[in-house]
């Protein structure tokens, strides 16, 4: 079994979504530092509830991008880095096609396992916890097991 995983703090999700959010919350906390929650007026409550409503989908989007890869001799397992129970197992003989997209470090890398060569209706997983340097090794291992791997922009590594 080979596990391909890197630290959360090296992922692009942390750099693009988490750190700016922490900075924004720090600025807001400085603004509302001397104002207790029960003293808030209508404007402050409205801002607070808008932030809560906007935070919920962004929390889901952050969690849904944080997958890493475990390669076995007969299958690949995609495991979420935060919720370990959120995992998906694909055997190589059931899913003989794979698409891996490398997005130059600016966006999250994507993997999509497929039963046929058509892109539609198969879920894609953000593998942001996989180091981009390991993608070529993952591709070569999967190709040695008979999986047809389609890559996008992987030659840039």
- Sorted by where each begins, the domain ranges of the chain are 7-64, 67-156
pLDDT at 156: 58
pLDDT at 11: 84
Q: Which residues, in sequence order, are bridge partners of residue 126?
A: 110
Q: Residue 68: which pLDDT band, with cuts at 50, 70 and 90?
A: very high
Find the range with the poorest average confidence among 23-37, 62-76, 97-111, 142-156: 23-37
Q: Torsion over CA of 43, 48, 52 and 53, rounded to 10 degrees?
A: 0
Q: What is the mean pLDDT of the chain?
A: 82
Identify the CA nearest to 149 among candidates 157, 137, 12, 69.
137
The pair of structure tokens assigned to 156 is 């840039």
Count how many Cα atoms sit within 13 Å of the Cα of residue 134 in the half-sphere of its side chain: 16
Average of per-residue pLDDT across 123-127: 87
Q: What is the CATH number of domain 67-156?
A: 2.30.29.30
pLDDT at 4: 93
Residue 114 has pLDDT above 90, yes or no: no
Residue 70 has pLDDT above 80, yes or no: yes
Q: What is the distance between the alpha carbons of residues 33 and 94, in angstroms, rounded to a whole number?
A: 57
pLDDT at 157: 54
Residue 64 has pLDDT above 70, yes or no: yes
- pLDDT tens-digit series, residues 10-50: 888 878 777 887 887 777 777 666 655 556 666 777 777 77
Cβ pair 129, 62 in contact under 8 A: no
CB atoms within 10 A of CB 13: 21
């Amino acid at each position: 079994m080979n596990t391909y995983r890197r630290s959360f703090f090296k992922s692009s999700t942390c750099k693009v979504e988490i750190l700016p959010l922490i900075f924004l919350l720090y600025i807001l906390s400085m603004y509302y530092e001397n104002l207790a929650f029960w003293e808030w007026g209508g404007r402050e409550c409205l801002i607070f509830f808008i932030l809560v409503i906007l935070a919920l989908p962004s929390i889901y989007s952050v969690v849904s991008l944080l997958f890493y890869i475990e390669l076995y001799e007969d299958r690949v397992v995609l495991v979420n880095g935060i919720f370990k129970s959120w995992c998906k197992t694909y055997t190589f003989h059931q899913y003989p096609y794979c698409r891996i997209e490398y997005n130059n470090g600016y966006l999250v890398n994507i993997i999509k396992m497929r039963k046929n060569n058509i892109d539609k209706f198969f879920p894609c997983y953000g593998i942001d916890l996989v180091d981009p340097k390991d993608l070529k090794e993952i591709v070569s291992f999967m190709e040695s097991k008979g999986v047809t791997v389609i890559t996008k922009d992987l030659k840039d590594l």
